[in-house]
Every structure is written in structure tokens, then in C-alpha cells.
Amino acid sequence: MTVPPQPYDDREATFDAFAGHVNAGKVAMYRQLGLDAVMGAREGASFTDAWADESFINCHCNGGVFNLGHRHPRIVAALRDALDVLDIGNHHLVSGWRAKLAERLAATTGGLLPGVVFGVGGGEAIDLAIKVARAGTSRQTVVSARGGYHGHTGLAMAAGDPEFREPFGPNPPGFVQVPFDDLDALEATVDNSCAAVLLEPIPATLGMPIAAPDYFSGVQALCRERGAMLIVDEVQTGLGRTGKMWAYQHDGLKPDIVVTGKGLSGGLYPIAATLMTRELHSLFDTHPHIHISTFGGAELGCAVALEVLDIVEAPGFLTRVEDLAARMRDGLAGLPFDLRQRGLMMGLAFAQVGGGMMAAAALYKAGVFAVWANNDPKVLQFLPPLVLSDAEADELIERVRAALK
């Protein structure tokens, strides 16, 4: 791995500067937990600490940003080639790069969602999804799952946890939350004022619960019956993480809107997208400038995302994800947790409260970086890269077994 230069001389100077100017609370918490790594060299499935001879297998992957590992050589090459001729472009002008990426993304849905609007991050893309659903239905209410996560921007934050929005004032009207995987609660809430139901297929922050087999089909039927849009947040689950291009495809759904981000960036250039039906996208026929994102769909980012799609859509890629999922499932059998799994979207659910936090600390010492679920800390989020070799997968399993046995 190539070791990048560090702007400070040592770890303490880095932590002190970060505390002084970026986030003192985060530094205090990490110091208390002993999570003192500063990312140094990074390549493939792993990264090193900047000032110690320690290597970590990345099983957090920043929620899917590093689905294809760190600095995938094909994606690095695509960005370097693009830098020779492109910049971000201009969102006021027609762009072949945005058009090609939109066309490719629409094709992944089988033409179900031909309209695409680009953003920089998942929160921005969720904001747009909510705005479009409200415009398309002339309704206001948005129903989401309690304990889910959709971002920290305005409307996305309003659909999420109170702890993240209450310090900033009252929530805007029109947002309601119900328990995940509870059709009765949803049926009692969705009425003729509901613009959309917004759900993650597998809510990571809630502890990776896997819904009952008939839950999402029931959600879709309820939305159709009552005229609400179905928004599926695939920022974490999309682009092959669950063994299919999109997690909604496991349940045979036909959502009105799908949101993607994180992994679309290849870990190198921020980009997100909101995919929608032709009917909803027609808003932009009559109001072409109603939503603007200066950096959304930057042409450099489009070049990166097109290479991501080339990799994920290559023959055998998704089959390989399923094979790795089976290898992980077998290799982790017998350890003291319940495995919540769909493809390589995994949660290790421990019996004790805080078990996920304790597991994160134990794995950190064993050279595995993973993060617990904020809204269910007995669960450890476990998201290895989708490009592990068999040897890397076996090494990961060995480290986990040694740390948690």
C-alpha cells in the first residue's frame, strides 16, 4: 500500500487539531473507547493506521461507500482519465456524461424508473424524493420507520430520529413514524393525506432487521390502495450489497422512487441519484429548474459511477457476492450471536445490551473495523467489501472467531 503523507507529525497532534476545529465530542468518545486509528494507507479490503504497524479489514465500509474496496484500480484509473479532460461540468447545460449515467441507472430497474436526478449525497437525494412525492400526489404526510436513517439534511432528517433533529427546533409538520415490519401500524397510519411511505429494505441503524417475507409486498399493496408513493432508500443496500443490484428486487417490488448513493461514488467522488417513474419525473418537464444541485452529477463523478456500474454489472459479480455471503455464514456459525443477513448486508445480534459495542471494541483489537447499530447497540453492523478474495474472507472469519469466541 502507498502511505499518504500526514499533515500533522503524530497521532496526538492530529486528535488535538480535530478536537479543536472539527468535532471535540467525537474525539472524546473515541479516546474513551480506545478507537484511536487515523487512516493511513488504504487499498482493497484494508487500511492501516497512520502511526502504527496495524492493518484493519474494513467491515464498516462507510455504509457501503467502499463496497468495491479502497482505491479499486479500475475506478482510480477512470477518475484519472476523467481528470485529464473533465471537471464538474455545469448543471445548466446538457451533459452526455449525466445522460449516460442516468440511462445506465434506469436500465438497472428494467425501465421501471426512467427518470433520474443527481445529487451529492444520500440526504440530498432523499430530500428530493420527498419533494417529488409531495408534488406528484398533492399531499404532505410522509411515513417512515422508527429507528431508521435517511440522512441529516432537512426533509431527510425530519423522517429520522428525534435525537438528530430536536436540538435544532421543532420538526416540520407532515412526518410520522411507525415501527418497522409492522403492517398493522402502517395500515392504521397511511390515509388519503399520505404522500409517501419511505423505508430502507434493511435499516442498518436499527440493527439490520430482516422483515417478514410478506411485509414489503404488503407495504406496496397498501401504498397502491391509498395513493401513496413507495420510496425505497437503497443508499446502503443498493448496488449489489444484498446479492442483487437492488434489495427491493428480492421482494419483487415496483417502487415509485429509489434512492442510491454511497457505493455509487466508488469511494472516490461523491455522487447520489434519485430514480423515479416517468409520471413523477414529468414535474421537470414543466419546471426544468425547480431543483438545482451545483455539484450533483458532476461529470467527474459520472465517470467514476459508470465504472462502478461496469464492475457490479459484470457477469458473475452478484453470484460472487452470494458465494461470499454463504462463506461468511458458514464461517461465522457457532459464535455467540444471531446472524441477520441478506447477501453481505449483515448484522451480528448479541443477547446482551451493548453487545454490538463490545464486539466492535474486541474486533478492533483483532484488526477488524466495524461499527455498532446506533438504535440497537446490541447489534454490530458487518459490511465487508463485496470484492473479498477467498483468502481475505477466510482471514476475516479467522479474526472474528478469535476475537468473539
* pLDDT tens-digit map of 254-272: 999 999 999 999 999 999 9
Edge to edge, what strands does the sheet with 371-373 contain? 338-342, 345-349, 376-382, 371-373
Q: In the chain, what's the furthest Cα-to-Cα distance?
A: 62
> Which pLDDT band holds residue 199 (cuts at 50, 70, 90)?
very high
153: its cell numbers: 439534511
Q: What is the pLDDT of residue 370?
A: 97
Cβ–Cβ < 8 Å for 115, 280: yes
> Which pLDDT band holds residue 3 (cuts at 50, 70, 90)?
confident
Q: Across the chain, what does the average pLDDT equal? A: 96
Q: What is the pLDDT of residue 158?
A: 94
- Residue 149, Ramachandran bin (φ over 0: left; ψ between -120 and 50: alpha; else beta): beta
Given a cut of 90, is residue 2 above it in pLDDT? no
Distances (CA, A) of 207 to 47, 143, 245, 304, 374: 25, 20, 22, 30, 8
Given a cut of 90, is residue 1 above it in pLDDT? no
Q: Convert the pLDDT of each residue in 19-55 to its tens digit.
A: 999 999 999 998 988 888 999 999 999 999 999 889 9
Q: What is the pLDDT of residue 405?
A: 85
Residue 48 DSSP one-character state: E
pTM strictly above 0.85: yes
CATH number given to 93-283+293-312: 3.40.640.10
Q: What is the pLDDT of residue 57?
A: 98
Neighbours of 333 (CB within 10 A): 9
Q: Which residue has the cell 487499498?
A: 43
Q: What is the pLDDT of residue 318?
A: 98
Neighbours of 164 (CB within 10 A): 15
Given a cut of 90, is residue 176 above it in pLDDT? yes
Which has the higher per-residue pLDDT, 179 or 52? 179
Given a cut of 90, is residue 163 above it in pLDDT? no
Torsion sign (Cα): 292, 198, 101, 310: positive
Q: What is the pLDDT of residue 374?
A: 94
Tell the burial category of 243 from Cβ atoms under 10 Å away from its Cβ (0-12, 13-18, 19+).
buried
